[in-house]
Chains A and B, each alone.
Chain A
Amino acid sequence: MHELSITQMMLDLVLEEARKNDAARVQAITLVIGKMSGIVDDCVRFYFDFLSRDTIAKGARLAFKPVPAKARCRECGREFKLEELKWVCPGCGTTCIEIVGGKELYVESIEVE
């Protein structure tokens, strides 16, 4: 159900941008979704079809740009990808890790006519 709220908020944001640009139709939406954001693409697609059915965004193509989870070691400062979400710094072996990437959740662009 997480995706239902997120998709509604995304649609509201897209429609607002479309309105500001006097668009008659939204053809495509590009979303940037971090691996740690907990968003499942297919759920967003499913809800989007339902929520957008009476709007100018009906039928818009959704493109998802994934962002990998990235961490920074609090001990040695090394930045690394959280492959398989292993919570150990590959540099110094500590588990003091800060999540610095992968929580992204934004609308990058829309295509309108």
Chain B
Amino acid sequence: MEIKVLKDILSANDQRARENRALLDEHHVFTVNITASPGAGKTSVILETIHRLKDRITFGVVEGDVSSSIDAKMVGKEGVPVVQINTGGTCHLDATMVSNALSNLPLAKIDLLIIENVGNLICPASFALGEDRKVLVASVPEGHDKPHKYPVMFSQADVVILNKMDLLPHTDFDLKAFESAVDGLSNKAQILRVSCKTGEGIEAWIAWLLEQLPAC
């Protein structure tokens, strides 16, 4: 007997992501999901964000890595509640992992929850976590061709941070090609040129973030 199913394989994850979102909304937590390739500077962006805003808003951080708690320790030093998820080989965070992390965070005391996804521009595009915004961190040394190599990820981003701008003079990175590729794929993503090393562009990132946050 043949049974028509027509059900999305990711529907269980999508459902769990909606539950996460509802829980976060209930506690007035605004959530960003930060994705990037390994080494683009996700953790540096998070640390800069905490440094600049910790006197104005409260943070929570979920760190996703295949292994180790290096990032969680770094963020924890800032006095911010942080949960490390070790995926044990899995190349992305999913909504269930985040749901478990949420039960270990003081949600009532958090204005902004930052989820640092596993460094990977493929799979995290498929797994909703319950976030309000998707932030993609790219970096100059990766090359300007990344948007067309990972089009789904770039097409979903609400903002693209191009990090390591300080290295631009030392590379063949074509800024115009990168930015027009991102513009082409995404109708909405702002592109912010940033260097966590020199501080260039961080203010623009902070301004973008504060614009997204509900008044607090």
Evaluate whether A97 and B185 lie within 8 angstroms (CB atoms) in the complex, with A105-B8, A106-B8 already known.
yes
Evaluate whether A87 and B91 lie within 8 angstroms (CB atoms) in the complex, with A2-B123, A36-B151 already known.
no
B:132-181 near A, CB below 8 Å: 148, 151-152, 155, 180-181
Determine if B187 and A9 form an interchain contact, defined as CB atoms under 8 angstroms apart: no
- Chain B interface residue count, CB cutoff 8 Å, equals 33
- Chain A interface residue count, CB cutoff 8 Å, equals 36
Determine if B10 and A108 form an interchain contact, defined as CB atoms under 8 angstroms apart: no
Label chain A's interface by main secondary structure. Answer: mixed
Label chain B's interface by main secondary structure. Answer: mixed
How many Å lie between the Cα of A113 and that of B1 in the bound state? 6
**Which B residues lie within 8 Å of A5 (CB)?**
90, 92, 94, 123, 127
Is A60 interfacial (CB 8 A cutoff)? no
How many Å lie between the Cα of A85 and that of B150 in the bound state? 11
**Footprint of B on A, CB under 8 Å?**
1-2, 4-6, 9-10, 12-14, 17, 21, 23, 31, 36-38, 74, 85, 87, 94-99, 103, 105-113
**Footprint of A on B, CB under 8 Å?**
1-13, 89-92, 94, 122-123, 125-127, 148, 151-152, 155, 180-181, 183-185, 187
